[in-house]
Structure 1
Amino acid sequence: MSGIRLKHKGWVVVADGEKALFLVNSGTPDKPALRVFSGFEQANPKTAVQGEDRPGRLSDGIGGAHRSAVQETDWHRLAKHEFARQIASRLDDSAQAGHFSQIVIVAPALVMGELRKSLSNAVSSRLVAEVAKDLTGHPVPEIEKLLFG
């Protein structure tokens, strides 16, 4: 994963479906020094806690006695998608305000996919690297080491 070069004051966003950390490079591209400057979380309990209804059923046809089950809604997954859209919205606001010129995004594949779809051109044009990993539980020095080697 090393080889990523991030300018001074470039951003790194480390996110999963429940937590996002915003870091800034207070060092140089050759010697990065990440510092957390913001973050936010969203409570996202498992689907079993969020929705306890049984899956619905649909009739298979007119007069037919056969009924098919409808897949239960995965509320936990939907909340992760919504959280990714919130992150993308915050990044867009910051990009429009000129708060960063480069950004690295680190997130698990599911969240990364939703972020990609939701990022504006203002953010995408500043994107230096995408890393499909969950590093939200890692300390900042370890994140630095994993990203910049």
Structure 2
Amino acid sequence: MQLPKGATIAVADGEKFNLFQNVSEDAIPKLNALAEADVDTETNNASAGRKSSSANPDQGQANEDNFAAGIADLLNQRVLKGRITGLVIIAAPKALGELRKHYHKELVSILIGEISKDLTGHSVQEIEKAIASA
């Protein structure tokens, strides 16, 4: 995948979220970590239809879905404010599915690509390699 200089890369799963920016002008991505962002999981109740009970005890999945919705909201806001002009999202498959439900149309218009893979906790070099081979 070819990344323009300045593109933002979001790496997420159901519990972790990191942002990077491509600083390379050539075909090989070079990522710099951006400041950690606070993800609001209270406002975005992605799993409003899911209730935890003894019959359905998966509150952990509901929390992960809310986290993904919070990530999408944060990315949507940055796109709408013009702070993100090119975006790649790398996320664990379940998290990516939940993220997609919350994309704003403006985010979709600047989305360079998605990689359905859990790379949270991996080195920057591994993330760069995954992007280059996508």
Q: Tell me, yes or no, whether TM beats 0.5.
A: yes
Report the TM-score when normalising by structure 2.
0.83
Larger radius of gyration: 1
Unaligned runs of 5+ in 1: 43-52, 56-70
1:107-140: CA deviation from partner (whole Å, max 9, x where unpaired): 1111001100001011111111111100001110
SS of 1:118's equivalent in the other structure is coil
User: What letter is aligned with 1:34?
Assistant: L
SS at match of 2:101: helix
TM-score w.r.t. length of structure 1: 0.75
CA RMSD of aligned residues (A): 1.8
1:8 to 5, 8, 33: 5
Change (3 A) 1:138 1:41: farther
Structure ranking higher in strand proportion: 1
Identity %: 32
Q: Which residue number in structure 1 is paired with residue 76 of structure 2?
A: 92
Tell me how many residue pairs correspond in the alignment: 121
Give the ranges of 4+ consecutive aligned residues of structure 1 lying more than 6 Å apart after TM superposition: none
- Name stretches of at least 5 consecutive residues in structure 2 with no aligned partner: 40-51
Distance 1:29 1:11, change over 3 A: farther
Residues 92-101 or 17-26, more deviating: 92-101
* 1:111 to 2:85 alignment: no
Match for residue 36 of structure 1?
Answer: 33
1:55-74 alignment, distance < 5 Å: 55=54, 71-74=55-58
Is 2:17 aligned against 1:20? yes
Give the conservation status (yes or no) of the 8 Å contact 1:19–1:39.
no
